[in-house]
């Protein structure tokens, strides 16, 4: 969102409407000012200040890092800009509003909660950007408050009116006709009233526990006989529709008309049924966000599975980190909530209702194809489609011929990765299947295939990462399902998350055992594979097979001194391997040769890697960074990073692949893999990068980064001050190329050419 209005002070709650930009289009279109929020004293916080820590590395300046937390908020700001973009399909804009809200929920549950916990325990240290912990927390609250207000503005002033023009309305219960209110009242009595549990607050009823992310009604009641005032809380049932569709009248001429009423308004209109004999004086909606990050020390847990299950139970009772309230909530009700929930004024956010716009996914799911992205069906990769057996691509036969590089979602996951595991499970010549599983669905055909393989007598190993954030419960359930079927389930290396994406199939063939491998940048998750952009390499190269065998032995047993040929593996060799690749480009530049580094990642935070890129820039290496989310690197700074460009692409698909290019076109060494440039990936996770060997694939990956960085491609550009500018139109005002739309078209043409050749 580029230009935001000046954030309000965060030492007090600010009613919505105070200091808001009357023109939300301008407020979210020009250039980001999030890198310099105001502190409570009204002065600008210097997010690039000269800090005492970290110390300068040689001749590098101390103010060389942007703040990672503010950078994350800027990423979510870019999501908000998509919601405000009138050129995007309308229901997709509604979905981006829901994505923004969901993203911010997780940010508070994890990042803000973690920072608050470290501040409280005295463990927090000055950030790499130079901010003291409390200063950073204050800046986050300032920026987040402004973003939440802008989010409400985009909904109320842009998206909701546009939806209304398309006969899709979010209406108040009071705006309905008498007949419609009667119908909804009947529905309330049948479907909602029996579910509700009103909780009173008085000397015999203590203030109830408010679960994280639940939507609630704070109700002030008056006893009709005594005139005594009482307080009650009513939880909006999370399993019922967030926005209730009003049934269309018979004979309605508007075939596609749809109207929705927030569930909390329907409940509020019937509070007299919940509190007979009491007068409802006032009611307001509110929502609490709690610390939901997990703390499991594997060294102290005899059984990681059991320890994690207990911690998931405790997660529900984490301390509050944010209180969202309706902007018209009276002060005395707000003070009661703040006191009972132990939240500070800076953690309170007054917002226009309805709160919790994650529910807009219900609206975005409407069957109005003309208001959505054009339909898209992934296609089988041509290299796989050429070798078919029983009308299905024979994956292993294709891979015996050549390495195959697939890009999801453009290349079908079901006819590549899923088919690979399913065919291996059904093949009597396959002796063993080994696979890492970080996130997948409980009904995944991959899980079913592994179970089938184990039941047929194959050796099956699943390295399950049950600590995948917010998927822990799902992972526990299907891990137990695998164990019961006879799959060898292990939970990786103590102290490290297993985040790499790898599969190994061992097959008996006429000339001996052959190892078929898949290494990817994304999870083995059929559903997210339709939404996340990722690469996957299929190969039967003996070097990769040997590397993966060592890796799985290290994950399931003891192999601490393993050395790899085509893999870089964190935490031992990945960072050092990348630094060596960068150093070689620095040497080439110093010797007068063309030198280049291209990186496509989700996040660029690791200070050691960033410093290496700064040194590369100083040596004359051209550096291009394509980052989806967080970026702590400051590009285009004279004398430091004038040879570095940083750009970001967001859109229909979530850009998730990690690609690393070292060397100019025609000479490049290229890696793909699971690791982002963050401390957790390089130091606290098992990650892999695999070197690409096929020149066709090298050329394709080099071209992809080049297109992402091109001035002809719609993207966001990061400036040296840490601001993101959107570039989506050329000098003549014409729209720039949408990379994802272009790739959809090109992959379709490629498949048709392969079919006719």
Backbone dihedral region of 736: left (phi > 0), alpha (psi from -120 to 50 degrees) or beta?
Answer: beta
User: Who contacts 323 (Cβ-Cβ below 8 Å, separation ≥6)?
Assistant: 286, 287, 288, 289, 337, 338, 341, 343, 347, 348, 349
Query: What is the C-alpha to C-alpha distance for residues 482 and 433, in angstroms, rounded to an integer?
Result: 13
User: Who contacts 523 (Cβ-Cβ below 8 Å, separation ≥6)?
Assistant: 438, 439, 440, 501, 529, 532
Check if the beta carbon of residue 330 is closer than 8 Å to that of residue 282.
yes
Q: Which of 141, 151, 408, 499 is catalytic?
A: 499
Residue with tokens 């594979």: 529
Give the containing element (helix H, strand E) for 218. Answer: strand 215-223
Query: What is the C-alpha to C-alpha distance for residues 684 and 208, in angstroms, rounded to an integer?
Result: 38
User: Who contacts 735 (Cβ-Cβ below 8 Å, separation ≥6)?
Assistant: 87, 714, 728, 729
Helix, coil or strand: residue 673: strand
Comparing C-alpha atoms, which of 693, 305, 689, 698 is closest to residue 502? 689
Helix, coil or strand: residue 82: helix
Comparing C-alpha atoms, which of 321, 325, 324 is closest to residue 344? 321
DSSP track, 243-301 = EEEPPPPTT-S-TT-EEEEEHHHHHHTTHHHHSTTEEEEEEEEEEEEE-------GGG-
Please list the alpha-helical segments (H only) found in 634-687.
679-683
Query: What is the C-alpha to C-alpha distance for residues 146 and 211, in angstroms, rounded to an integer?
Result: 25
Query: What is the C-alpha to C-alpha distance for residues 322 and 111, in angstroms, rounded to an integer?
Result: 12
Give me the long-range contacts of 471-475 (CB less than 8 A, separation at least 24): 471/439, 472/294, 472/308, 472/312, 473/312, 474/441, 474/442, 475/437, 475/439
Helix, coil or strand: residue 384: helix
Query: What residues pair up with 502 in beta bridges, in sequence order?
Result: 519
The tokens of 314 are what? 């405790």
Query: What b/e sequence results for 328-342 when a residue is b if at least 16 CB atoms lie within 10 Å of its CB, and e otherwise?
Result: ebeeebbebbbebbe
The tokens of 360 are what? 């807009």
User: Who contacts 718 (Cβ-Cβ below 8 Å, separation ≥6)?
Assistant: 631, 635, 646, 647, 648, 724
Sign of CA dihedral 90, 20, 75, 355: negative
Phi, psi of 306 (to 5 degrees): -65, -40
* Residue 499 known to be catalytic: yes
**Residues carrying an active site annotation:** 499
């Amino acid at each position: 969102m580029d230009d935001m209005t000046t954030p309000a002070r965060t030492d007090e709650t600010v009613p919505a409407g105070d200091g808001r930009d009357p023109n939300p289009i301008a407020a979210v279109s020009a250039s980001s000012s999030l890198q310099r929020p105001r502190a409570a004293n009204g002065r600008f916080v210097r997010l690039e200040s000269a800090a005492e820590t970290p110390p300068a590395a040689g001749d590098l300046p101390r103010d060389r890092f942007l703040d990672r937390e503010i950078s994350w908020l800027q990423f979510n700001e870019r999501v908000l800009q998509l919601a405000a973009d009138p050129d995007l399909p309308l229901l997709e804009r509604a979905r981006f509003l829901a994505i923004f809200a969901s993203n911010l929920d997780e940010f508070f549950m994890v990042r803000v909660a973690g920072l608050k916990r470290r501040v409280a325990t005295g463990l927090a240290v000055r950030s790499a950007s130079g901010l003291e912990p409390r200063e950073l927390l204050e800046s986050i609250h300032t920026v987040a408050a402004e973003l939440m207000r802008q989010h409400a503005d985009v909904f109320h002033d842009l998206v909701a009116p546009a939806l209304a023009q398309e006969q899709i309305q979010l209406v108040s219960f009071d705006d309905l006709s008498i007949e419609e209110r009667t119908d909804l009242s009947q529905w309330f009595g049948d479907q909602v009233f029996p579910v509700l549990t009103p909780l009173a607050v008085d000397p015999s009823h203590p203030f109830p526990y408010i679960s994280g992310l639940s939507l609630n009604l704070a109700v002030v009641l008056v006893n009709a006989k005594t005139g005594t005032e009482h307080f009650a809380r009513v939880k909006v049932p999370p399993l019922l529709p967030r926005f209730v569709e009003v049934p269309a009248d018979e004979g309605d001429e508007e075939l596609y008309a749809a109207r929705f009423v927030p569930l909390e308004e329907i409940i509020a209109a019937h509070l007299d049924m919940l509190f007979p004999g009491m007068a409802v004086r006032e009611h307001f909606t509110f929502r609490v966000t709690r610390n939901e990050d997990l703390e499991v020390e594997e060294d102290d847990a005899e059984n990681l599975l059991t320890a994690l299950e207990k911690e998931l139970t405790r997660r529900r009772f984490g301390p509050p980190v944010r209180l969202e309230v309706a902007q018209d909530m009276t002060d005395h009700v707000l003070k009661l909530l703040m006191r009972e929930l132990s939240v500070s004024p800076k953690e309170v956010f007054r917002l226009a209702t309805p709160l919790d716009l994650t529910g807009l996914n219900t609206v975005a799911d409407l069957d109005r194809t003309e208001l959505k992205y054009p339909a898209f069906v992934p296609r089988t990769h041509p290299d796989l489609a050429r070798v078919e057996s029983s009308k299905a691509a024979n994956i292993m036969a294709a891979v015996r011929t050549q390495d195959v590089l697939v890009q999801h979602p453009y290349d079908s996951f079901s006819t590549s990765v899923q088919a690979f595991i399913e065919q291996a499970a059904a093949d009597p010549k396959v002796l063993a299947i080994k696979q890492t599983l970080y996130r997948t669905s409980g009904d995944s055909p991959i899980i079913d295939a592994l179970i089938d393989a184990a039941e047929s007598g194959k050796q099956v190993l699943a390295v399950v990462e049950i600590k995948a954030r917010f998927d822990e419960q799902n992972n526990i359930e299907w891990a137990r399902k695998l164990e019961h079927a006879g799959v060898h389930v292990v939970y990786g290396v103590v102290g490290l998350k297993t985040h790499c994406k790898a599969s190994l199939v061992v097959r008996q063939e006429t000339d001996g055992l052959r190892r078929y491998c898949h290494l990817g940048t994304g999870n083995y998750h059929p559903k997210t594979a339709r939404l996340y952009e990722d690469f996957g390499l299929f190969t039967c190269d003996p070097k990769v097979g040997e590397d993966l065998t060592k890796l799985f032995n290290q994950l399931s047993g003891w192999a601490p001194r393993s050395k790899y040929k085509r893999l870089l593996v964190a935490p031992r060799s990945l960072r050092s391997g990348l630094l060596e690749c960068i150093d070689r480009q620095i040497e080439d530049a110093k010797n007068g040769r063309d030198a280049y580094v291209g990186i496509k990642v989700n996040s660029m935070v690791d200070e050691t890697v960033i410093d290496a890129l700064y040194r590369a820039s100083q040596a004359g290496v051209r550096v291009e960074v394509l980052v989806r989310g967080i970026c702590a690197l400051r590009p285009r700074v004279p004398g430091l990073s004038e040879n570095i460009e940083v750009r970001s692409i967001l859109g229909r698909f979530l850009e998730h692949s990690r690609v690393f290019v070292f060397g100019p076109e025609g000479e490049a060494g290229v890696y793909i893999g699971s690791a982002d440039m963050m401390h957790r990936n390089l130091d606290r996770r098992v990650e892999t990068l695999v070197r690409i060997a096929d020149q066709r694939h090298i050329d394709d990956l080099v071209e992809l980064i080049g297109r992402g960085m091109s001035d002809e491609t719609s993207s966001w550009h990061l400036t040296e001050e840490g601001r993101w500018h959107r570039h989506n139109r050329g000098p003549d005002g014409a729209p720039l190329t949408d990379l994802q739309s272009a790739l959809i078209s090109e992959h379709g043409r490629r498949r048709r050419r392969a079919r006719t050749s």
